[in-house]
Amino acid sequence: MAATDFKDYYSLLGVSKNASPEEIKQAFRKLARKYHPDVNPNNKQAEARFKEVNEAYEVLSDPDKRKKYDQFGQYWKQVGEGFPGGGAAGVDMSGFDFSQYGSFDDFINELLGRFGSGATPRSGRQSYSYSTASSRAGGFSGGFNDFGFQDVGAGAAQDTEATITLTFSEAFAGVQKRFSLGNETIDVRIPAGAKPGTRLRVRGKGQINPMTQQRGDLYLKVELQPHSFFQIEGDNLVCEVPITPDEATLGAAIDVPTPDGNVNVKLPAGVRSGQTLRLRGKGWPLAKGGRGDQLVKVAIAPPKELSQQEREYYEKIRAIRTYNPRSHLQQIKL
C-alpha cells in the first residue's frame, strides 16, 4: 500500500485520536445515518462514503485492531496477518515514520535491518526475504483425532489453538487426556467444570518461532457433546421433565435425574407446563468451588393412548369441570 493510499480512519469519522469508544460509536452512527444507501438511493458517492465509514468503525471499535492501527498506521493489517515477531516483544517501534515507506516490503526490510536477529542498526535499507504461513498439526491419538490446529499469532513465540470435545461426564468430573503432538506425548488434565468455550493453556507446547526459536503455548478450547437430558446455561444445568395432567392438577412427588443420581422432587398442586423448579447446588461445578443449580422445567404430557376406564373418567371430569383457563380471553379485542 502506497503512503498516498492511506486512510485516516479518525478523520473519516471526524474524531480525534484520543476519542473514547463511545465518541467513536456516536460519530459512526451519525455518519452511517447520513450516508446510508436507503437515505441516498442511486448515489454512488454516498455509497462509497458509507463503506469507508463502516471500514473505519470496524477497525476503531475493535481494541485490538485500533491498537495495531495506532502503532503501525497504514501497515496495521499486514502486520497483524504476518509480521515476523508480531510487531512486538522487545522491539521499540516509536522511531519509525511509517509514512516514509512506499510498500509493506520496504517497511519490513527496513525493520529487519534494524531489529533482525543479530543485526545492527543501519542507515540504509538492507533487503531481507521473509514469508508467513499458518501451520496445522495432525497425528493425534487418544480421542484427539478431531483436533484442528491453527496459529494464533506470530509473536515472540507462536501459540497454537485446538478444539477438544468432551462428554458431559468428562467435563463435569474432570479428566486426563493423553495424545501425541509430533514426537511428543502430552498429558493434559482437564479440571472439573469445563464449559463450552473454556480455554485451557498448556505452556510451552505451541509452535516454535523460526525467528526467535522460542516456543509458544497450546490453547485448548472446550466443546461438549450434546447430552440427551441435560443442557448448560451459565453455571446451571437445565433439564425438562414430563408430568401427567393429574400430577399437575393434584401435585405429586417425582424422581428427577441429577449428576449425583435421582432426587425426589415435590410438585405443587396446580403446577403449570413450562414452570421451572430449582434444585440448589445440583448444577455445574464452579471455578471458585461449589456448584450451580439445576433448573427443572415441567412439561405436562397428556397420554396419547387411553384405556376405556381412563377415557370414561376423563369424560366425567370434563362434564363436571368448573375451571375454564380461557375465561380471560373473552374480553380480548384488537
The CATH number assigned to the domain holding 182 equals: 2.60.260.20
Mean pLDDT of 85-107: 48
Task: Tell me which of 58-67, 95-104, 321-330 is least confident.
Answer: 95-104
pLDDT of residue 313: 95
The verdict on 241 and 210 lying in the same domain is no
260 shares its domain with 235: yes
Same domain, 208 and 155: yes
Q: Is there a domain that residue 48 lies in?
A: yes
Structural domain count, the chain:
3
Residues 15 and 106 grouped into a single domain:
yes
Whether 209 contacts 154, CB under 8 Å:
yes
Q: Are residues 279 and 300 in the same domain?
A: yes
Same domain, 244 and 201: no
133 inside domain: no
- The SS3 call for residue 57 is helix
Which percentage of the chain shows pLDDT scores above 70?
Answer: 73
Write down the pLDDT at residue 215. 84
| Domain finish residue from 224, 254, 282 | 224
DSSP, residue by residue, 159-216: EEEEEEEE-HHHHHH-EEEEEEETTEEEEEEEPTT--TT-EEEETT-SBBPTTT--EE
Sign of the dihedral defined by the CA atoms of residues 273, 259, 278, 292, in that order: negative
Segment 199-231, tens digit of pLDDT = 989 888 888 777 777 888 888 899 999 999 999
**Per-residue pLDDT, 185:** 84
pLDDT in tens, 280-320: 999 999 988 999 999 999 999 999 999 999 999 999 999 99
Q: Which of 115, 135, 158 is the last residue of a domain?
A: 115
CATH number at residue 61: 1.10.287.110
Residue 121 lies in a domain: no
Report residue 157's pLDDT band, with 50, 70 and 90 as the boundaries. Answer: low
pLDDT of residue 149: 40
Q: Binning pLDDT at 50, 70 and 90, where does residue 106 land? A: low
What are the cell numbers at 167? 462428554
Q: How far is residue 316 CA from its own chain's centroid?
A: 55
Residue 128 lies in a domain: no
Same domain, 220 and 235: no
Element (H, E) at 247: helix 245-250
How many helices (H) and strands (E) would you count in the chain? Answer: 9, 12
Domain annotation covers residue 123: no
Our CA angle for 124, 126, 128, nearest 5°, is 160
Q: Which of 19-33, 142-156, 165-179, 261-275 has the highest mean pLDDT?
A: 261-275
Q: Provide the grid cell at 70.
A: 495506532
The reply to whether 7 and 110 lie within a common domain is yes
Residue 115's pLDDT band, with cuts at 50, 70 and 90, is: very low
Please say if the pLDDT value at position 49 is more than 60: yes
Residue 286 belongs to a domain: yes
Q: Is residue 331 part of a domain?
A: no
Q: Which of 81, 125, 84, 105 is nearest to 1 (CA)?
A: 105
Lowest mean pLDDT among 40-44, 103-107, 116-120, 299-303: 116-120
What value does the mean pLDDT of the chain take? 78
Q: Which residue's C-alpha cell is 433439564? A: 239
Asked if residue 47 belongs to a domain, the reply is: yes
In this structure, the answer to whether residues 82 and 175 fall within a common structural domain is no
pLDDT higher than 90, residue 272: yes
Indicate the residue among 178, 201, 224 that finishes a domain: 224
* Domain with 195 in it: 150-224
262-291 average pLDDT score: 94
pLDDT > 90 in the chain, percent:
37
What is the model's pLDDT at position 214? 84
pLDDT band at residue 129 using 50, 70 and 90 as cut-offs = very low
Say yes or no: 7 and 102 in one domain. yes
8 and 30 part of one domain: yes
What is the total residue count of the chain? 334
The pLDDT, as a whole number, for residue 40 is 85
Ramachandran class of 182: left when φ > 0, alpha when ψ lies in -120 to 50, beta otherwise: left
Same domain, 278 and 200: no
Of 131-140, 163-172, 199-208, 228-237, the least confident: 131-140
